[in-house]
A and B are shown apart, each in its own frame.
Chain A
Amino acid sequence: MTHSFAEMSARERLAAVVDAGSFHEWLPPSERVTSPHLAQLGVPAAFDDGVAIGRAAVGGRTVFVAAQEGGFMGGGVGEVHGAKLVGLLRRALRDRPDAVLVLAESGGVRLHEANAGLIAVSEVMRALLDVRAAGIATVMLIGGANGCFGGMGIVARCADTVVMSDIARHAMSGPEVIESAHGAGEFDSRDRALVWRTTGGKHRWLCGDCDVLVDDDADAFRAAAITALDAHRPMTLEELQQESALLQARADADGDNADAFVLWSRLGVPDARAVPDLDADALRPRRPASVAALAHGGA
């Protein structure tokens, strides 16, 4: 029996990923740490500001964990939401858990608190990189229905490991935003197949931007999280130089603004047209070795 990770709430996902009953929450809803800004706008607040944080065990090992709730303002990062993430990461730096897991589901900066959200996302990014530099594994699990976008999309890719389901999305700007800026000819937000092959889990896997591709299943995410606890990699000059070169080569492969199908073929994916019909198991071996170098734990 599989449990769709996408359809779960943040707290359900969290409970399914960590060892049963092991989650100890900091600043739980009972403490009512809410946004100081939403009330001024007449917008309802959430008692956890859309993110649960705390300590838990995964496979018997201590992790710090956060889960963003896409059902509350699209998982947008406001002042308090962001500060909870920063607090969790700074605490990880102090207390040294085996890993920090983030169940990321976010549209990025919460526009209702735009300025504070932007600074908060930047603080989260720096705090995450501090944790990573300290040798603590950082893991992003992206499987919520709202995807992981904007500033959180950037933050997520700063982690050691990004786990995605085949139906998840990880990108910067949503298709609606791009369409409203440059028209449906640029990016037709109603063309779901186009949207998914441009930003979805399968595409990110084939291009090396996602490190682990799983089915939309809570047990699969849990298994991937357990493996990722040991997947820390230090960030070195040599590694960043290699990443730079590989990212540039990939961009050069699409100098003519081609579709995903064309890009996959150029990268060496066999029978690119068949990709949308494949499940995660069938797709995984199709990632070309040259691209795998871009993924952590790849090659």
Chain B
Amino acid sequence: MDWMSVAARLFGTDHAIVADGDFLCGTADFDGTTLAVVGTTNHAAVGVDLALRQARAVLDTVARYPGRPLLLLVDTQGQALRRRDELLGIHRAMAHLGCCLDLARRRGHPVIGLVYDQALSGGFITSGLMADGCHALPQAEIRVMRVPAMARVTKLPEELLESLSRTNPVFAPGVANYVAMGGVRSLWGDDLAAGLRAALADRDTTDRRAQEGAQRGGRRAAADVIRRVLEA
């Protein structure tokens, strides 16, 4: 789904979100509260400049509108794969964005992530995955890499990965797998507004992804290992 349809279904026509290239920014009113919206579109490759633009939008919200909820709209093909971005410290720009979102949370801003189209690795770690809870549309696509590329890099047979991916969510792309592993808290169905309303009402900011991954059966080891370290 494109971002304008998402915005229309969440906020009607009365919103002030604008796209500037691959960058989304603006505000919208929802249930009488103003939200700050920050994100990316066009399957953006997130490089230094786009990471910094998002970070500034987050910092401006924190500075000027204490407590205003932040909605992160995620559509990214991952980090930009360019020499210039590496030279300029793309890892730092992304860490900076993550730190800005973390600061917003600590200062009382609800931070909600929504993968409305596509989310891949680097572009996702410091956006949706840094939210209090990350949500997704059922038709969205989340992955680190596709199975054929994974087969190439790991030098494992593609058929093996394909067959394992039917039983183990760890191996295969897909929103449902991320829900099972606790990485995505919920899918927003036909009533997107209901999804956002429920996310805004959930004020628990602890990271409960490992726990939810264990409860849902998609990622059983993590919560147990964390507990064992705490008890060792």
Contacts and interface: CB of A to CB of B under 8 A. Distances in A.
B126 interface: yes
Nearest to B122: A172
Contacts of B219: 79, 116, 119
A247 B49 CA distance: 9
B121 interface: yes
Given A90-B226, A118-B124, A172 B85 contact: yes
B91 to A, nearest CB: 4
Interface stretch (B17-25, B31-39, B164-172, B196-204): B164-172
Given A116-B219, A151-B122, A247 B92 contact: yes
A43 B178 CA distance: 23
- Which of B84, B100, B172, B178: most chain A Cβ within 10 A? B84
A187 interface: yes
A126 B172 CA distance: 24
Interface in A14-55: 26-27, 33, 35-37, 40-43, 53
Interface string B94-106: 1110111011001
Given A27-B229, A86-B222, A237-B63, A114 B122 contact: no
A198 B84 CA distance: 8
A120 B170 CA distance: 11
Given A41-B156, A154-B95, A187-B83, A250 B170 contact: no
A250 B89 CA distance: 10
A87 B229 contact: yes
Interface string B196-229: 0000000000010110010000011111111111
Contact of B181 (A90, A115, A173, A250): A115
A266 to B, nearest CB: 12
B87 interface: yes
A217 interface: no
Contacts of B98: 125, 129, 154, 158
Nearest to B106: A133
Interface string A246-285: 0110110010010010010000000000000000000000
Contacts of A187: 82-83, 86
A40 B156 CA distance: 11
Contacts of A83: 210, 221-226, 229
B168 A40 contact: yes
B86 A80 contact: no
Contacts, number: 245
A123 B207 contact: yes
Nearest to A73: B154
Contact of B143 (A115, A155, A157): A115
A115 B178 contact: yes
Q: Which of A116, A151, A178, A187 has the most CB of B within 10 A?
A: A116
Given A79-B222, A119-B129, A41 B95 contact: no
A118 B154 CA distance: 16
A209 B89 contact: yes
Interface string A159-176: 000000000001111010
A109 B144 contact: yes
A251 B49 contact: yes
B210 A123 contact: yes
B90 to A, nearest CB: 5
Interface in B145-194: 145, 150, 153-154, 156, 160-161, 164, 168-173, 177-178, 181-183
B86 A171 contact: yes
A126 B130 contact: yes
Contact of B79 (A33, A158, A172): A172
Interface string B53-77: 0011001001100000000000000
Interface in A138-164: 150-151, 153-158
B226 A244 contact: no
Interface string B106-130: 1100000000000001101110011
B81 A37 contact: no
Contacts of B171: 37, 113-115
B16 interface: no
B86 to A, nearest CB: 5
Contacts of A82: 222
A133 to B, nearest CB: 6
A287 to B, nearest CB: 14
The 6 closest A-B pairs by CB, nearest first: A87-B229, A114-B144, A83-B225, A157-B95, A153-B91, A26-B232
29 contacts: A26-B232, A27-B232, A40-B164, A41-B160, A79-B170, A80-B221, A83-B222, A111-B150, A114-B143, A114-B144, A115-B170, A115-B177, A116-B222, A118-B125, A118-B183, A129-B98, A155-B95, A157-B89, A171-B91, A172-B79, A173-B81, A178-B86, A182-B82, A186-B82, A207-B89, A235-B103, A236-B103, A240-B55, A251-B48
